[in-house]
Amino acid sequence: MDSTTGLKEGRDVTATMPDAFLEVEDLHKAYGSVVALNGVDLSVQRGQIVGLLGPNGAGKTTLVSIICGLRRADRGKVTVNGIDALSHPQRARAFIGLAPQDIGIYPSVTVLNNLQLFAELTGLSGRAVATQIEQIATALRLDELLDRKAGELSGGQKRRLHTAIALLNEPPLVLLDEPTTGADVETRAALLEVVTDLARRGSSVVYSTHYLQEIETLDATVVIIEHGNVIASGAVHDLIAASGGSIVAITFAGQPPSHLNGYTASVDGSVMRVTTDDPGRATAQILEQLGAESSRVEGIEIIKPSLETAYLAITGHRYTQGEERNVVAS
């Protein structure tokens, strides 16, 4: 095993014990009067992918930035591979590959030059530079673009280069902050493949995204953050199983009715939602019950059990606003 991966020897000895590569405990951070993190706990094992979910402003970027020493915590503890990362950020940083939310590449030089520069900064030299660049460039479909100026790449291509830089040298802890923002289909597919592969080879991954489908594809452990607190966590299938069935979402012109017989409805603005195991039957019954009120129905959507329904059940609102797809609008 390459010593640069930082994997501990004697791993089998501790195989029965929790083997967290990253441990965050009771982390607090405020910017003036804005509380960004309010006692966050997070644990990521070797080979585990944690999908970090939360609306804008939840504290995801602050959390990731503190883990890799870019921002200071007010209090709490961060341990990376057994190292106290708040006291020894440089030592911890050696184990971390970070792709920040905002793209950071040198636009005036080529893709290859960007990769070479960052490879050398991570301590690679000699043949290892070329080998690692070739591997990550192939994996992220950058191999045809190596001679292009970074500034002339498309948005998705820039995102791939930005992420490739973070993944040079296969870091044992990978922090990807919204790596598919503005990404095209090819970029998203390549990224998900690379992340899956890294985890399979033992890296711990923290992956924040606005696309729940990606978390399902990665089969990640979900951690939901709101207002600087972890409000739920667990395996995708456990969260889905606990959320209790499909959701019928009915959008009204104006305020939804406040009560339904036989169903528990939650109201979010103009949308009323009902959780049910039999969405077809529930839809028919609700429409019948609405009577004349049904003329105010603007759309009906049935959301099958998924991370989406789990997120809705946990938080009371949809993850990505503006994606409400009205399937029936009669």
CA count, 13 A, side-chain hemisphere, 98: 19
Candidates 16-24, 49-57, 117-125, 232-240: pick the segment binding ligand ADP (CB under 6 A). 49-57
Residue indicated by tokens 């979900």: 222
Q: Could you say which of ligand ADP, Mg ion, none residue 31 binds, taking C-beta under 5 to 8 angstroms by partner kind?
A: ligand ADP
Q: Which one-letter DSSP state was computed for residue 73?
A: -
Smallest distance from ligand ADP to CB 57, Å: 4
Q: Does 61 bind Mg ion (CB under 5 A)?
A: yes
Return the structure tokens found at 63: 């959390």
Integer distance in angstroms from the first to the last C-alpha of the chain?
A: 62
Candidates 31-39, 106-114, 121-129, 136-144: pick the segment binding ligand ADP (CB under 6 A). 31-39
Q: For the chain, how many residues are written?
A: 330
> For residue 140, which phi and psi values (nearest 5 degrees)?
-100, 20
Q: What's the rounded Cα separation, in Å, for the pair 288 and 123?
A: 68
What track of x and - describes contact with Mg ion for positions 87 through 106 (by CB under 5 A)? Answer: --------------x-----
Smallest distance from ligand ADP to CB 64, Å: 8
Q: What's the rounded Cα separation, in Å, for the pair 186 and 157?
A: 9
Cβ-Cβ contacts under 8 Å for 33 (sequence gap 6 or more): none
Candidates 60-68, 73-81, 237-245, 275-283: pick the segment binding Mg ion (CB under 5 A). 60-68
Q: Could you say which of ligand ADP, Mg ion, none residue 167 binds, taking C-beta under 5 to 8 angstroms by partner kind?
A: none
Candidate residues 44, 49, 58, 303; the one interacting with ligand ADP per rule CB under 6 A:
58
Q: Does 160 bind ligand ADP (CB under 6 A)?
A: no
Smallest distance from ligand ADP to CB 174, Å: 17
Q: Could you say which of ligand ADP, Mg ion, none residue 54 binds, taking C-beta under 5 to 8 angstroms by partner kind?
A: ligand ADP
Q: What's the rounded Cα separation, in Å, for the pair 163 and 167?
A: 6
Q: Does 34 bind ligand ADP (CB under 6 A)?
A: yes
- Considering beta carbons, is residue 3 or 33 the nearer one to ligand ADP? 33
Q: Does 180 bind Mg ion (CB under 5 A)?
A: no
Candidates 50-58, 129-137, 141-149, 289-297: pick the segment binding ligand ADP (CB under 6 A). 50-58
Q: Does 206 bind ligand ADP (CB under 6 A)?
A: no
Nearest to 62 by CA among 110, 29, 88: 29
DSSP string, 92-133: HHTTEEEE-SS----TTSBHHHHHHHHHHHTT--THHHHHHH
Q: What's the rounded Cα separation, in Å, for the pair 80 and 18?
A: 14
Smallest distance from ligand ADP to CB 54, Å: 5
Q: Quote the longest CA-to-CA distance of the chain.
A: 76
Q: Does 61 bind ligand ADP (CB under 6 A)?
A: yes
Q: Does 59 bind ligand ADP (CB under 6 A)?
A: yes
Q: What's the rounded Cα separation, in Å, for the pair 245 and 267?
A: 18
Return residues touching Mg ion (CB under 5 A).
60-61, 101
Return residues touching ligand ADP (CB under 6 A).
31, 34, 36, 54, 56-62
